[in-house]
């Protein structure tokens, strides 16, 4: 297999602004070599067995030497790997990509450049600041403030609008240089830090007072806009979205949280992810391997989760097979999400129970279950047994095989825990009973180590939202209550339930 290196722009520190091309490449990457200033959620898009290498590349902090990064790219490409080199923003805008391209060319390695949304353009827009205006700004220029002594400040002072990246550490020098070349101290300036995510901050001022306004603040990463267009700052449309000003804690498997996060962000929410599940291969492939070899003996394949779909087809691929191996097998799935993941493999389910829950699968099964041979790839331990009991009760022969394991992370996410303790979470969402159990366990462990508080005190003013009845039952058992339950037991249904509860009237 021929190796390939993809030099990919990750855009802002927010997965919502990733390009579709980048998303596709990440989902098929065998090696990921990434910089520090990317949204950590992007790491969840790669396959579970992808090698991930953090090379740093953040101003003022230790980073991997460029020669080492070049060697990683070349070596893994020559091994035949699909390598994604993930850079913040756009790879050709201050991305220092030239040494990497030159190393790849010298080694005769295939490579492709994939654009990303640069913060130079996106940060002003997301802050409501136009870079051009027919009166105030007929042109703008983008520059780096990393080495201000190398720039022509006399020429820059004549440009309508300046967009400066990597200028937080040299802000005082930049201001002095512009004033020395005739720019008035009343010239407007905006500084945007952590553009596009829940940490975003915007400071507005002039060349004369901005240093006082950001005194003691670390301005990395930040985008600086200087010019009269700053006075045109528009109101952010997101302030009118239903979940604006709501901070939502998402408790799902890290590998699955990104889609739900995006749905919530599209409604204006600030989302904090707390991985409460770890999805890994089963302790043994023996059962699933044996079933795959005998696929022709089964009448039905039942898939009750996206994880079951992904691990089943990855194992199918391991044996050189694809969806055609299921040509004589009917497929039943539980839930829209499971059906959607199945369609990624070119298949449509033959049956989806109407209520999107496993309990209704038997009740509404489209055929007599008597003497049906059913393959059921599932979680290795901890899953509900009711489905197998009911199928067997009606005469089906069910072969259960372990397709994956789901466990509890060893420690609670630091950012999530800090926000929980400080009362900065408005809503917690649960999409399965397992996430409720693991959330309870992680919080109890943290409380024993760090706090005299009880879990009830931490959750007292937080809304608890559940995806459906079974998850709600576990919420009542562990957390004592449920405030919102989805009518349709899907992620989209859970978002809809939140919108109805918090919808603002314009």
Nearest-angstrom CA–CA distance, 357 and 335: 7
CB atoms closer than 10 angstroms to residue 461 = 9
Q: CA angle at residue 18 from 13 to 23, to 5 degrees?
A: 125
CB atoms closer than 10 angstroms to residue 347 = 18
Q: Under CATH, to which class is 240-277+409-502 assigned? A: alpha beta
Q: Can you tell me which residue has the tokens 């391991």?
A: 318
Return the SS3 of 500: helix
Of 351, 370, 371, which is closest to residue 361 (Cα–Cα)?
351
Task: State the sign of the Cα–Cα–Cα–Cα dihedral 128, 132, 137, 139.
Answer: positive
CA distances to 65, 222, 293, 396 from 320, in Å: 39, 48, 11, 29
* CB distance 500 to 465 below 8 Å: no
How does residue 33 score in pLDDT terms, banded at 50, 70 and 90?
very high
Return the SS3 of 25: helix
The pair of three-digit structure tokens given for residue 158, joined into one six-digit string: 């004549």
Nearest-angstrom CA–CA distance, 260 and 44: 13
CATH number of 280-407: 3.40.50.10090
Q: What's the mean pLDDT in 248-268?
A: 79
* CB distance 38 to 146 below 8 Å: no
Structural domain spans, the chain: 4-117, 121-234, 240-277+409-502, 280-407
Give per-residue pLDDT as tens, 380-434.
987 777 889 999 999 999 999 999 988 889 899 888 999 999 999 999 999 989 9
Q: Choosing from 57, 81, 246, 337, which is the catalytic residue? A: 57
How does residue 337 score in pLDDT terms, banded at 50, 70 and 90?
confident
Task: State the sign of the Cα–Cα–Cα–Cα dihedral 76, 78, 84, 88.
Answer: positive
User: How many residues in total does the chain contain?
Assistant: 506
Helix H, strand E, coil C: the string for 307-346 is HHHHHHHHHHHHCCCCHHHHCCCEEEECCHHHHHHHHCCC
* CB distance 205 to 211 below 8 Å: no
Nearest-angstrom CA–CA distance, 295 and 393: 23
57 has catalytic annotation:
yes
Distance of CA 278 to the CA centre of its chain: 15
Give per-residue pLDDT as tens, 111-167.
999 999 999 999 999 999 999 999 999 999 999 999 999 999 999 999 999 999 999
- Topology given in CATH for the domain delimited by 121-234: 3.30.950
Average model confidence (pLDDT) for the chain?
90
Return the SS3 of 474: helix
Q: Can you tell me which residue has the tokens 């949304």?
A: 117
Q: Residue 428 has what pLDDT? A: 97
Q: Under CATH, to which class is 4-117 assigned? A: alpha beta
166 has catalytic annotation:
yes
Q: Residue 44 has what pLDDT? A: 83
Q: Residue 223 has what pLDDT? A: 96
Q: Choosing from 81, 87, 166, 337, which is the catalytic residue? A: 166
Those residues with Cβ within 8 angstroms of residue 408's Cβ, 6 or more apart along the chain or in another chain: 276, 277, 278, 437, 438, 441, 442
Return the SS3 of 70: helix
pTM for this prediction:
0.62
Nearest-angstrom CA–CA distance, 438 and 474: 11
Do domains 121-234 and 240-277+409-502 share one topology? The answer is: no
């Amino acid at each position: 297999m021929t190796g390939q290196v993809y030099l990919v722009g990750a855009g802002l520190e927010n997965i919502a602004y990733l390009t579709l091309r980048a998303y596709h490449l990440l989902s098929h990457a065998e090696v990921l070599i990434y910089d520090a200033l990317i949204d950590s959620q992007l790491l969840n898009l790669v396959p579970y067995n992808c090698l991930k290498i953090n090379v740093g590349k953040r101003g003022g902090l230790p980073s991997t030497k460029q020669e080492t990064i070049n060697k990683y790219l070349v070596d893994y490409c020559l091994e035949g790997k699909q390598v994604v080199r993930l850079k913040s923003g756009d790879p050709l805008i201050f991305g220092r990509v030239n040494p990497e391209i030159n190393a790849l060319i010298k080694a005769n390695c295939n490579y492709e450049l994939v654009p990303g949304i640069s913060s130079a353009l996106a940060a002003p827009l997301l802050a409501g600041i136009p870079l051009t205006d027919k009166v105030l700004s007929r042109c703008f220029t983008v520059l780096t403030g990393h080495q201000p002594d190398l720039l022509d400040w006399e020429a820059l002072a004549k440009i309508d609008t300046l967009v400066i990246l990597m200028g937080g550490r040299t802000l005082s020098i930049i201001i002095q240089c512009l004033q020395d070349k005739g720019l008035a101290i009343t010239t407007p300036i905006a500084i945007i830090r952590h553009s596009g995510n829940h940490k975003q901050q915007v400071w507005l001022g002039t060349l004369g007072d901005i240093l006082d306004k950001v005194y003691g603040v670390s301005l990395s990463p930040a985008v600086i806009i200087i010019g009269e267009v700053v006075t045109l700052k528009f109101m952010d449309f997101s302030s009118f979205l239903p979940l604006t000003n709501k901070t939502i804690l998402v408790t799902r498997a890290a590998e699955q949280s990104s889609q739900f996060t995006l749905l919530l962000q599209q409604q204006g929410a600030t989302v904090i992810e707390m991985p409460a599940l770890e999805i890994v291969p089963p302790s043994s492939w023996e059962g699933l391997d044996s079933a795959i070899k005998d696929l022709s003996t089964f009448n039905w394949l039942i898939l009750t989760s996206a994880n079951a779909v992904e691990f089943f087809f990855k194992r199918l691929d391991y044996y050189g097979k694809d969806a055609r191996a299921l040509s004589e097998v009917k497929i039943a799935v539980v839930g829209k999400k499971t059906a959607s993941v199945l369609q990624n493999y070119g298949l449509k389910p033959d049956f989806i129970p109407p209520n999107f829950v496993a309990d209704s699968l038997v009740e509404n099964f489209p055929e007599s279950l008597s003497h049906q041979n059913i393959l059921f790839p599932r979680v290795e331990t901890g899953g509900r047994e009711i489905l197998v009991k009911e199928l067997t009760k009606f005469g089906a022969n069910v072969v259960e095989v372990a397709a994956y394991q789901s466990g509890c992370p060893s420690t609670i996410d630091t950012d999530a825990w800090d926000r929980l303790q400080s009362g900065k979470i408005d809503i917690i969402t649960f999409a399965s009973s397992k996430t409720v159990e693991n959330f309870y366990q992680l919080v109890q462990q943290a409380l024993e180590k760090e706090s005299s508080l009880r879990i009830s005190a931490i959750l007292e003013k937080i809304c608890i939202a559940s995806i459906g009845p079974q998850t709600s039952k576990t919420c009542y058992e562990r957390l004592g209550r449920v405030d919102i339950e989805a009518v349709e037991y899907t992620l989209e249904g859970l978002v809809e339930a939140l919108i109805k509860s918090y919808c603002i009237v314009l």
